[in-house]
């Protein structure tokens, strides 16, 4: 097994959790109700917890004396391998919910497959995270239905959300050369096998929410290769501020 390839593969998983966790963390205290505010913050904490497990393993694999904090806070923008979907801004509550559901549906399918990985550590992290992500998907899915099949205004806004985020979903299934290499070793998840199930599940829920599945065939890629949207640099400056302002600080 090539340790460098495994390290890179772990980052393609963990960076999504870190960046989406950061996005949700930005909303702490700004939810439309106390219950949803707490739920969003708890989902953020779940994702950051999973991120820590992945980064700790990545640091061990790399073997250069780095910590999880070094990996999280001291990389350049181009070194992050998260999908473009998770870095999209918190436009409004419906947008946050739509982004969350599109990610949760994929991530739950992904973890269900990752638990079968021949890498025991990745398998263990996946098994631990499945229960949390199952709740995340139920929460975001229920809200998509509630808003999509709610008032005329909420329905129109949710349709706009789905239309706006749809160009980013196909990148979830884009496989890097590293992934393809590790699939042969039984370590990585073959994302192509998740695609059909993903779109079936998403389409079924959107139909239940009286929302239309976009017909758009053009999709946007780049995040997994370090090419990010204009929003990412601002997110990263907030995320990394403390570590870069006070180097080597510890809690």
Domain boundaries in the chain?
Answer: 3-245
Q: Tell me what the pLDDT averaged over the chain comes to.
A: 93
pLDDT at 140 over 60: yes
CATH number belonging to domain 3-245: 1.20.1260.10
pLDDT at 251 over 60: no
Q: What is the pLDDT of residue 209?
A: 97
Tens-digit pLDDT profile for residues 62-113: 989 889 999 999 999 999 999 999 999 998 999 999 999 999 999 999 999 9
Q: What is the pTM of this model?
A: 0.94
Handedness of CA 140, 193, 216, 19 (dihedral sign): positive
pLDDT at 189 over 80: yes
In angstroms, rounded to a whole number, what is the distance separating the alpha carbons of residues 210 and 237?
38
Q: Where are the alpha helices (DSSP H) in the chain?
A: 3-25, 34-62, 68-73, 93-114, 120-148, 152-165, 177-183, 195-208, 230-245
- Tokens 């949700």, residue? 24
Greater confidence (30 vs 143) lies with 143
pLDDT above 70 covers what percent of the chain?
99
In angstroms, rounded to a whole number, what is the distance separating the alpha carbons of residues 92 and 80?
25
Tens-digit pLDDT profile for residues 9-66: 999 999 999 999 999 988 888 778 778 878 888 999 999 999 999 999 999 999 898 8
Tens-digit pLDDT profile for residues 190-229: 999 999 999 999 999 999 999 999 987 789 999 999 999 9
1: confidence class by pLDDT, cuts 50, 70, 90: low
How many beta carbons lie within 10 A of that of residue 64, not counting itself? 8
């Amino acid at each position: 097994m090539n340790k460098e390839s495994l390290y890179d593969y772990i980052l393609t998983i963990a960076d999504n959790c870190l960046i989406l966790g950061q996005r949700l963390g930005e909303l702490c205290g700004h939810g439309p109700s106390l219950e949803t505010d707490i739920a969003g913050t708890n989902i953020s904490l779940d994702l950051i917890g999973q991120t820590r497990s992945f980064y700790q393993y990545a640091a061990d694999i790399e073997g250069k004396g780095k910590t999880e904090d070094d990996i999280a806070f001291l990389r350049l923008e181009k070194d992050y391998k998260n999908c473009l979907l998770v870095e999209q801004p918190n436009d409004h509550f419906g947008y946050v919910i739509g982004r969350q559901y599109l990610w949760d549906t994929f991530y739950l399918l992904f973890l269900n497959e990752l638990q079968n990985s021949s890498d025991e550590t990745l398998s263990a992290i996946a098994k631990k995270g499945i229960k949390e992500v199952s709740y995340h998907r139920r929460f975001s899915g229920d809200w998509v239905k509630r808003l999509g099949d709610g008032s005329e205004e909420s329905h129109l806004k949710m349709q706009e959300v789905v239309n706006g985020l749809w160009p980013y979903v196909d990148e979830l299934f884009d496989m890097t050369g590293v992934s393809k290499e590790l699939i042969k070793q039984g370590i990585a998840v073959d994302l192509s096998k998740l695609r059909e199930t993903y779109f079936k599940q998403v389409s079924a829920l959107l139909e239940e929410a009286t929302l239309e599945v976009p017909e758009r065939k053009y999709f946007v890629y780049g995040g997994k290769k370090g090419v990010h949207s204009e929003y990412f640099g601002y997110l990263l400056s907030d995320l990394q501020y403390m570590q870069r302002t006070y180097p080597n600080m510890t809690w």
